[in-house]
C-alpha cells in the first residue's frame, strides 16, 4: 500500500463548505507520485510512461478543511501494458472516497503501448490489494 | 443537450504536454452551471442542492492547449432524488472524453435527500439522452 | 485592450463564499492567451517565449459565482526583452481586482533573454495603456 | 518563521515543463494554514477573519516536479487591523520565489475591519522578520 498524507487547502474548499469534488482526482494523482517515480525514475516528462485511461470515483463522505487526509493506494491488476489501481481517501480514519484508476504504459516517442517490465511488476506486486484483504481491512 | 465552450488555459496543461487529466472533472463541473442554476436559481450556496455521488470518466484522446473545447451534457436518468448525467468533451469535433456523473438532490439544512420537483423534471427531460440517439449523433 | 469573458466555476469558489483569491492569477493568465499566441503562434511549448517575472495583485472587491467576469489587459511598457501588462477584473461592471504582470521574452533552448521583435511590438502597441487614459476609462 | 513542506504534483506542472506560476499563490496560501488557525481556531468559515488585500510575487527560479519545496513565512508588519507577511519558496535550498501578502482582519457578519487582538499579536510576534535578519539568513 502506498500512503500519502495531505493537508487540505482553503483554495480546495468550495462555497458549499467542503472540499470541492474536483479536488479529489488531484489528490489521488498526487498520491501516485511513488508510482510515477517507478515508471519514470528521473522525472523526465519527455520519457513519461503513465497515461490515464479511466477513473471511477465514488464520493462516500464529505471532506473538510482543517484536518489532514490520508490516501491509500493498492494495485488491483497488472496487465501486459496496463495497471489498475484501487485508491481510498480517509479523514479522521473515516473512508470518504474510493477511486479506481486505469493506466497504460505508453511510449510517447513511439506513440504505442509497451509491456510493463518485470522489474516494475515485482515492485508493484508488493502493493497488491490481496494483501489488503488478508489483513482484513477491506471496507465493504 | 447543454453545451459549453471553454478555452484551455496554460495552467491546465501539464509537463507531459497536454491538458492534465485532473482538469477534465473541473471542466465537466463548469459545464453543469445551467443545471446548478436550475436547482439553486439564486446561487445561494446555503441552499445548494446538488451533491455528487459518483463519476466514471473515460479518457479517449489527448486534449491540447490552443483550441477551444466543447462539452455536451445529456440527462441519462432522473430518479426520485437522483440525477444521472452523461457528458462528452470534444476538441476539433473529435470526442476526447466521456463522463457520467450521478448527483443526489440533497437538503443541506435538513441533511436528507429530497424528491426532485416536477418543475425541474420537466426542464431536465428536454435534455434526455434519448433525444441524442434519435438524432443519430450517438458516437459508438 | 485585450478582453476575455469567463464564467466562474463552483470549483473556483471557497468556503468563505466567494471566488478564492488564488483563482485570480489563473484567470489573468487565461486572459493572456492572445498575447501568448502572439509570441508563440503555433502553441509549441518547446518554443515558448513568455516567462513571468513578477506580479502585483490588488483585491478590490469580492468576486462571486453566478455572474460572468470580464478581464481587460493593457500593455503598460515594452522593454528590449520585457513586457509589462496592466490588467483589470470586472464583475457587473465593477472593478474587483487589478494586476500588473512582468514577463521576459526568454529563449528556452538557448536559456537567454531575447529582444522582442519589431513585428510583435507593433501589435502590442495597439493595446497601450495610454489608449485607455485617452478614452477616459481610467478608474482612479 | 512558519515552515511548510509540499510535494509538487504532476497537475501543478505546465507544458513548458515547470511548476506553473499560478500554483505559487496556491502553495503560499496553503502554507498560511497555521495563521488561519490562529485567527479562526475552529475553522468555521462563517467566522473567517483573514481577507487578502494585496500580493506581490517575484519569480526568481523555476520550480520543478520531483523534489519537495519548502515555504517559509515571516510576519513583516502588524497594523491595527492588518497583517503583512513575507514569504519565500525554496527547492533544493535555492530561493525560487518571494511573496508579500497583506491581509485585513475582517468581520464578515458585521462587514467591517476589526482590530487584531493582543493575544494573536503576541503569537505573531514570534515570527517577526527581524528574527530572520538577526539570524543572518536574509538572502539579499
Asked if pLDDT for residue B133 goes beyond 80, the answer is no
Rg of chain B over all Cα atoms, to the nearest angstrom: 16
Q: Is B64 on the interface with D (CB under 8 A)?
A: no
A69-78/A2-6 β-pairing: antiparallel
Residue B52, class by beta-carbon neighbours within 10 Å (0-12 exposed, 13-18 middle, 19+ buried)?
buried
Asked if pLDDT for residue D2 goes beyond 70, the answer is yes
Which one is predicted more confidently, B69 or A131? B69
The whole-number average pLDDT for the span D61-71 is 98
C-alpha to C-alpha distance for A103 and A78, rounded to whole angstroms = 10
B94-107/B112-113 β-pairing: antiparallel
Which one is predicted more confidently, A36 or B134? A36
Is ipTM strictly over 0.90? yes
C-alpha cell at D41: 481556531
Beta bridge partners of D74: D86
Asked if pLDDT for residue D122 goes beyond 50, the answer is yes
B131 contacts: CB under 8 Å, gap ≥ 6: B1, B74
Can you give the pLDDT at residue C45? 95
Whether residues D14 and B11 touch (CB distance < 8 A) is answered with yes
Cα atoms found within 13 Å of the Cα of residue A132, Cβ hemisphere only: 20
Neighbours of D61 (CB within 10 A): 14
Can you give the pLDDT at residue D137? 45
Q: Which chains touch A (3 or more CB pairs under 8 A)?
A: B, C, D
User: Do C31 and C87 meet the contact criterion of CB atoms below 8 Å apart?
Assistant: yes
The whole-number average pLDDT for the span D19-38 is 98
C-alpha to C-alpha distance for B136 and B130, rounded to whole angstroms = 10
C-alpha cell at D115: 482590530
User: Do C14 and C76 meet the contact criterion of CB atoms below 8 Å apart?
Assistant: no
D132 contacts: CB under 8 Å, gap ≥ 6: D1, D74, D138
Q: Is D17 on the interface with C (CB under 8 A)?
A: yes
Can you give the pLDDT at residue D31? 98
D130 — pLDDT class (breaks 50, 70, 90): confident
B-chain residues near A16 (CB < 8 A): 45, 48, 108
Cα atoms found within 13 Å of the Cα of residue A14, Cβ hemisphere only: 23
Long-range CB contact pairs, A108-111, < 8 A, 24+: A108/A46, A108/A47, A108/A48, A108/A49, A108/B16, A109/A46, A109/A47
Q: Is B15 on the interface with D (CB under 8 A)?
A: yes
Whether residues C11 and A20 touch (CB distance < 8 A) is answered with yes
The whole-number average pLDDT for the span B32-53 is 96
**Residue of chain A nearest B16, judged by CA positions:** A45
Can you give the pLDDT at residue A134? 57
Q: Is A62 on the interface with D (CB under 8 A)?
A: no
Whether residues C14 and A10 touch (CB distance < 8 A) is answered with yes
Can you give the pLDDT at residue B109? 80
Q: Which chains touch D (3 or more CB pairs under 8 A)?
A: A, B, C
Beta bridge partners of D77: D84
**Residue of chain A nearest D15, judged by CA positions:** A45
The whole-chain average pLDDT of chain D stands at 93
Can you give the pLDDT at residue B134? 57
Can you give the pLDDT at residue A139? 42
Q: Is B23 on the interface with D (CB under 8 A)?
A: yes
C-alpha to C-alpha distance for D79 and D83, rounded to whole angstroms = 6
Q: What is the secondary structure of chain D as a DSSP string?
A: -EEEEE---GGGB-TTSSB-TTHHHHHHHHHTHHHHHHHSTT--GGG--EEEEEEEEEE-S---TTS-EEEEEEEEEE-SSEEEEEEEEEETTEEEEEEEEEEEEEETTTTEE-PPPHHHHHHHHTTBHHHHHHTT----
**Digit-coded pLDDT (tens) for D67-106:** 999 999 999 999 999 999 999 999 999 999 999 999 999 9
Looking at chain B, the whole-number percentage of residues with pLDDT higher than 90 is: 89
Q: For every one of its 140 residues, what pLDDT tens digit does chain A have, with 9 covering 90 and above?
A: 999 999 999 999 999 999 999 999 999 999 999 999 999 999 999 999 999 999 999 999 999 999 999 999 999 999 999 999 999 999 999 999 999 999 999 998 888 999 999 999 999 999 999 766 655 444 43
Q: D73-98 burial string, b = 16+ CB within 10 Å, else e?
A: bbbbebeeebbbbbbbbbbeeeebbb
Nearest to C15 among A17, A22, A23 (CB): A17
Can you give the pLDDT at residue A116? 98
Residue with cell 423534471: B121
A65-79, B123-137, D114-128: least confident range: B123-137
Nearest to C43 among B7, B30, B65 (CB): B65
Can you give the pLDDT at residue A78? 97
C-alpha to C-alpha distance for D30 and C26, rounded to whole angstroms = 16
Can you give the pLDDT at residue C108? 83
**Residue of chain D nearest C46, judged by CA positions:** D16
User: Do C1 and C73 meet the contact criterion of CB atoms below 8 Å apart?
Assistant: yes
Q: For every one of its 140 residues, what pLDDT tens digit does chain C have, with 9 covering 90 and above?
A: 999 999 999 999 999 999 999 999 999 999 999 999 999 999 999 999 999 999 999 999 999 999 999 999 999 999 999 999 999 999 999 999 999 999 999 998 888 999 999 999 999 999 999 766 655 444 43
Q: Is C22 on the interface with A (CB under 8 A)?
A: yes
Amino acid at each position: 500500500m502506498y500512503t500519502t498524507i495531505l493537508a487540505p487547502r482553503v483554495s480546495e474548499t468550495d462555497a458549499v463548505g467542503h472540499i470541492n469534488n474536483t479536488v479529489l482526482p488531484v489528490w489521488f494523482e498526487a498520491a501516485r507520485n511513488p508510482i510515477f517515480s517507478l515508471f519514470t525514475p528521473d522525472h523526465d516528462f519527455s520519457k513519461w510512461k503513465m497515461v490515464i485511461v479511466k477513473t471511477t470515483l465514488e464520493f462516500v463522505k464529505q471532506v473538510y478543511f482543517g484536518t489532514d487526509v490520508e490516501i491509500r493506494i493498492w494495485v488491483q491488476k497488472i496487465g501486459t501494458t496496463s495497471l489498475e489501481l484501487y485508491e481510498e481517501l480517509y479523514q479522521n480514519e473515516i473512508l470518504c472516497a474510493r477511486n479506481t484508476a486505469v493506466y497504460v504504459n505508453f511510449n510517447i516517442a513511439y506513440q504505442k503501448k509497451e509491456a510493463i517490465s518485470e522489474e516494475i511488476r515485482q515492485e508493484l506486486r508488493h502493493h497488491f490489494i490481496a494483501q489488503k484483504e488478508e489483513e482484513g481491512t477491506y471496507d465493504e
